[in-house]
Chains A and B, each alone.
Chain A
Amino acid sequence: MADPKMKFLVVDDFSTMRRIVRNLLKELGYSNVDEAEDGAMALSKLKNEQFDFVISDWNMPVMNGLDMLKSIRADAALAKLPVLMVTAEAKKENIIAAAQAGANGYVVKPFTAATLDEKLAKIFEKLEKVGA
């Protein structure tokens, strides 16, 4: 089981969705959550504070989620940060592009609480295996 104190960054340009993800995380036992409105704001938060997990939308103004993911993977200090994409982009080429850019998981909106729970668990499980 992952540490309930781990810090999440939820990145989405729609405040409704940020609140929903924040509430879902709380329901799953993670109450240490911060939010960002776009990829650029998220990157600046990631560089200045310690985060353990990023949940990000794709289509956002200023900097989209894929570009943010690429920047994270290209930054030595952030490269290993787990990133779960939660997005309405549902084309196969999107999923392939995200996987190639180094996403740890991909959830298509609209999603259920159970799906988010399952994907988080799967990512933690894989991270533990790598860490062990």
Chain B
Amino acid sequence: MEAARPGELAEGGEGQSQEELLARVGQMTRSLHDSLRGLDFDKLIERAAYDIPDARDRLDYVARLTEQAAQKVLNATELASPLQDSLASGADALADAWRAALAGDGMPAASRALAERTLGYLAQARTDSDTTRAHLMDIMMAQDFQDLTGQVIRKVTELAHGLEQQLVQLLVDYAPGDIRRETNTGLLNGPQINPNASPDVVADQAQVDDLLESLGF
């Protein structure tokens, strides 16, 4: 096969370079086909047909297990948050009762010191339970990875499925086929894996807000 000469593509009009590109893809496909026939052609078909569904199964497995894990975490945080709430309100109620008792005259001096220490502890319990609750919220929010990785996995699975069909079709057809791939997927591109690499993608919420503001929102 001829070595690629990128300079050739730049010359001539758009249509000409397009034709050249297609011709070269055709040549490459033919060359690939010839090489395949020289090798273990049948086995390669078999492997392609087997490996891609296997890769898809593995990705489905990752998606399933990460979702299960995320659901377990959410179950736990949803159960733990109200427990923290009742710990905090219980501490507040006890603190009020102790303060009322301290306000009276009936308490011996020795007990007063203990009551003050108890009040200090109850105040700390309220603060700690609020902090724990905030941590639980963070743990819950972190589970949003499952939605994002799930979408990416779904996209790769679809891609593998398309690739599998194309490859099988190519091998079955035995001839240079039209294997141009649709690159523009419109408005459904999902989570951006590297948002800074592309100028038409926003990298953070501030950029979303700026864009909306420029549109009068």
Question: Which residues of A come within 8 Å of B, CB atoms?
Answer: 12, 14-17, 19-20, 23-24, 27, 58-59, 64, 66, 88-97, 99, 105-113, 115
User: In the assembled complex, which residues on chain B have CB atoms less than 8 Å from the CB atom of A15?
Assistant: 67, 71
Given contacts A20-B140, A108-B208, contact A95 B202 (CB under 8 A): yes
- Known interface pairs A20-B141, A97-B187, A106-B208; A92-B200 also in contact (CB < 8 Å): yes
Known: A59-B188, A89-B188. A99 touches B200 (CB 8 A): no
Cβ–Cβ < 8 Å partners of B74 in chain A: 16, 19-20, 23
The A/B interface has a contact count, at CB < 8 Å, of: 107
- Docked Cα-Cα span, A113 to B112, in Å, equals 43
List of 5 A-B pairs having minimum Cβ-Cβ separation, nearest first: A88-B191, A17-B147, A14-B147, A16-B146, A16-B70
A96 proximity list for chain B (CB < 8 A): 211, 215
Contacts of B78 in A (CB 8 A): 19, 23
Residues of A within 8 A of B148 (CB): 88, 109-110
Q: Which residues of A have CB within 8 Å of B187? A: 58, 66, 89, 91, 93-94, 97
Contacts of B70 in A (CB 8 A): 16
Cβ of B61 < 8 Å from any Cβ of A? no
Residues of A contacting B137 in the complex (Cβ-Cβ under 8 angstroms): 23, 27, 113
Cross-chain contact A91 with B189 (CB below 8 angstroms): yes
Q: A88-B191, A94-B187 are in contact. Are A16 and B211 (CB under 8 A)?
A: no
Q: Which residues of B contact A97 (CB under 8 A)?
A: 187
29 contacts between A and B (CB under 8 A): A12-B147, A14-B67, A14-B151, A16-B71, A23-B77, A24-B141, A27-B137, A58-B188, A88-B151, A88-B191, A88-B192, A89-B188, A90-B195, A90-B203, A90-B208, A91-B187, A91-B189, A91-B201, A93-B200, A95-B212, A99-B212, A105-B217, A106-B208, A108-B205, A108-B208, A110-B148, A113-B137, A113-B141, A115-B205
Q: How far is the CB of A113 from chain B (nearest CB, A)?
A: 6
Q: Assess the A88–B147 pair: CB atoms within 8 A.
A: yes
Q: B residues within 8 Å of A by Cβ?
A: 67, 70-71, 74, 77-78, 137, 140-141, 143-148, 150-151, 187-192, 195, 200-205, 208, 211-212, 215, 217
Bound CA span A88–B192, Å:
7
Residues of B with C-beta under 8 A to A90: 189, 191-192, 195, 201-203, 208
User: Known: A14-B147, A99-B217. Contact between A91 and B71, CB under 8 A?
Assistant: no
B191 and A109 contacting across the interface, CB-CB below 8 Å = yes
Q: How far is the CA of A96 from the CA of B150 in the complex (A)?
A: 25
With both beta carbons as reference points, the residue of chain A lying nearest to B202 in the complex is identified as: A90
Closest chain-A Cβ to B169's Cβ sits at a distance in Å of 26
Let me know if B151 and A59 touch, CB within 8 A.
yes
Chain A contacts for B146, CB-based, 8 A: 14, 16-17
A sample of 5 more A-B contacts (CB under 8 A), given A90-B192, A95-B202, A110-B144, is: A19-B71, A23-B140, A64-B188, A97-B187, A107-B205
A111 to B202, CA, bound (A): 13
CB neighbours of A93 from chain B (8 A): 187, 200
